[in-house]
């Protein structure tokens, strides 16, 4: 059976035997870095393509269908165009910060990739405070967005950046609280432990209604944190033309664009890991035959499948809902989501203490 775990151990063993200890480790680091960047490029291309197709089918259109089979190379062509475009820096801009900002956003997105388990035992860094790490690093992105908005010397950008800062900082809270619910249930911050605790059933099934509430809050918070519609106030095309990246062009714009999709992927991957069992196959109690069939599907497919499902949900939101207003956005978080997730957290804690979950 195909398994990424075996592939990794074969490569590692071969490197160890040919290069010896320090060099093998360095080569592995480089390989991981290259793989991460390659994954980024592929994810960006595929998610943009997916978004365009999903949007098109919701809008009674066909979507990209000219470049390559079924328009698969459309995003590649678009990226090529963006690479060749001139990356303008406006006259009044703070040049250093202006050029740094897209990289900040991108690096923040890349860093969160580390603790994500893509398949069984296939993880870059199984850090013991995995969930905390994700929550902490994901808020670095807002610095990049603020930087972009502030340094552009454009009022639309500034408004967009300010909105984005308010939004990400507030929604981080309920995202964190809803993740905490699962941390309490599984008793660990480590991603691999959280996944292993779901071997006998995903938390969304085991955890009854409180976890479902936490999951819904989490999905809303992720949509808001990634600045996606209906929470796309930072970009808000009809109000702020393009929000914080109004002044960006060429590849610098593409980095923002890419980071948005990577962030969606990461948000959904975290959601899939924490609530839907990550790479854990779907098991039903003591149906042995059924469970065996499920086990036969590679763990990487399980993970990608769940993540793509959540991504589809978020895309579905974007193409259905109108945008919230800025005060409504903050009201939703501070008046509804935060109290709900706090009370929910208490209930989950009670559930964990009393052992009410399955």
Partner 1 sequence: MLEELGTNDQGDMIINVGPQHPSTHGVLHLVITLHGETVKKVEPHLGYIHRSIEKMSESLSYRQFSYVTSRMDYLSSHINNHACALAVEKGLQLEIPGRAQYIRVILDELTRIASHQLWWGALAMDLGAFTPFFYSFREREMINEVMEETCGARLTMNYIVPGGVMFDLHPDFQKKVKLFLAEFKSKIHEYNELVTGNVIFQNRTKGVGYISKENAISYGMTGPSGRGSGFKCDVRKLHPYELYDQLKFEEITEEGGDAFARYMVRIREMEQSMNIIEQLIDNIPEGDIQAKTKAVLKLPKGDFYSRVETARGELGVYIISEGGTTPYRIKYRSPGFSNLSALNDMAVGGKLGDLMATMGTLDLVIPDIDR
Residues that bind partner 1 (CB under 8 A): 55, 58-61, 155-156, 159, 163, 229-230, 232-233, 236-241, 319-328
For residue 26 the two structure tokens come to: 């360095």
Secondary structure string (H, E, C) spanning the chain: CCCHHHHHHHHHHHHHHHHCHHHHHHHHHHHHHHHHHHHHHHHHHHHHHHHHHHHHHHCCCCCCCCCCHHHCCHHHHHHHHHHHCCCCCCCCCCHHHHHHHHHHHHHHHHHHCCCCEEECCEECCCCCCHHHHHHHHHCCHHHHHHHHHHHCCCHHHHHHHHHHHHHHHHHHHHHHHHHHHHHHHHCCCCHHHHHHCCCCCCHHHHCHHHHHHHHHHHHHHHHHHCCCCCCHHHCCHHHHCCHHHCCCCHHHHHHHHHHHHHHHHHHHHHHHHHHCCCCCCCCCCCCHHHHHHHHHCCHHHHHHHHHHHHHHHHHHHHCCCCCCCHHHHHHHHHHHHHHHHHHHHHHHHHHHHHCCCC
d(CA 24, CA 275): 36
d(CA 115, CA 134): 8
Q: How far is CA 318 from CA 47, 105, 149, 324, in A?
A: 14, 21, 23, 12
Nearer of residues 58 and 70 to partner 1, judged by Cβ? 58
Nearer of residues 9 and 320 to partner 1, judged by Cβ? 320
Nearer of residues 163 and 252 to partner 1, judged by Cβ? 163
- Residue 296's φ and ψ, nearest 5 degrees, are -70, -25
Nearer of residues 53 and 323 to partner 1, judged by Cβ? 323
Nearer of residues 241 and 349 to partner 1, judged by Cβ? 241
CB of 224 to partner 1, least distance (A): 13
Nearer of residues 33 and 92 to partner 1, judged by Cβ? 92
d(CA 326, CA 307): 29
CB of 62 to partner 1, least distance (A): 12
CB of 324 to partner 1, least distance (A): 6
Nearer of residues 322 and 355 to partner 1, judged by Cβ? 322
Longest dimension (CA), the chain: 67
CB of 58 to partner 1, least distance (A): 6
Nearer of residues 135 and 324 to partner 1, judged by Cβ? 324
CB of 263 to partner 1, least distance (A): 19
Nearer of residues 238 and 286 to partner 1, judged by Cβ? 238
CB of 60 to partner 1, least distance (A): 6
d(CA 189, CA 329): 29
CB of 326 to partner 1, least distance (A): 5
CB of 232 to partner 1, least distance (A): 7
CB of 337 to partner 1, least distance (A): 15
Nearer of residues 88 and 140 to partner 1, judged by Cβ? 88
CB of 328 to partner 1, least distance (A): 6
């Amino acid at each position: 059976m195909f398994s990424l775990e075996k592939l990794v151990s074969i490569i590692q063993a071969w490197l160890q035997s040919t290069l010896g200890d320090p060099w093998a480790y360095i080569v592995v680091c480089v390989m991981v870095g290259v793989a991460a960047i390659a994954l980024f490029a592929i994810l960006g291309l595929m998610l943009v393509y997916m978004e365009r197709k999903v949007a098109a089918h919701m809008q009674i259109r066909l979507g990209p269908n000219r470049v390559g089979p079924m328009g698969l190379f459309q995003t590649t062509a678009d990226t090529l165009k963006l690479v060749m475009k001139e990356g303008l820096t406006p006259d009044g801009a703070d040049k250093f910060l202006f050029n740094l900002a897209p990289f900040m956003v991108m690096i923040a997105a890349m860093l969160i990739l580390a603790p994500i388990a893509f398949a069984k035992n296939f993880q870059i860094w199984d850090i013991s405070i995995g969930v905390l790490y994700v929550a902490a690093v994901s808020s670095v992105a807002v610095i990049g967005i603020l930087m972009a908005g502030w340094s552009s010397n454009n009022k639309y950008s500034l408004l967009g950046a300010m909105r984005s800062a308010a939004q990400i900082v507030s929604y981080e809270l309920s995202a964190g609280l809803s993740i905490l619910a699962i941390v309490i249930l599984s008793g660990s911050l480590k991603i691999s432990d959280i996944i292993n605790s779901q071997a006998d059933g995903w938390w969304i099934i085991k955890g009854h209604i409180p976890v479902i509430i936490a999951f819904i809050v989490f999905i809303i918070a992720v949509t808001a944190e990634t600045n996606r519609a209906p929470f796309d106030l930072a970009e808000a095309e009809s109000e702020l033309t393009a929000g914080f990246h109004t002044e960006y062009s060429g590849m610098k714009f593409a980095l923002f664009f890419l980071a948005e999709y990577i962030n969606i992927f990461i948000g959904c991957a975290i959601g899939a890991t924490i609530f839907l069992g990550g790479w854990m196959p779907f098991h039903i109690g003591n149906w042995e035959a059924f469970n065996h069939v499920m086990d036969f599907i590679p763990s990487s497919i399980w993970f990608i499948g769940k993540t793509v499902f959540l991504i589809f949900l978020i895309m579905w939101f974007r193409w259905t809902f109108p945008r919230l207003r800025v005060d409504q956005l903050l009201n939703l978080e501070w008046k509804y989501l935060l109290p709900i997730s706090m009370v929910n957290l208490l209930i989950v804690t009670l559930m964990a203490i009393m052992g009410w979950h399955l």
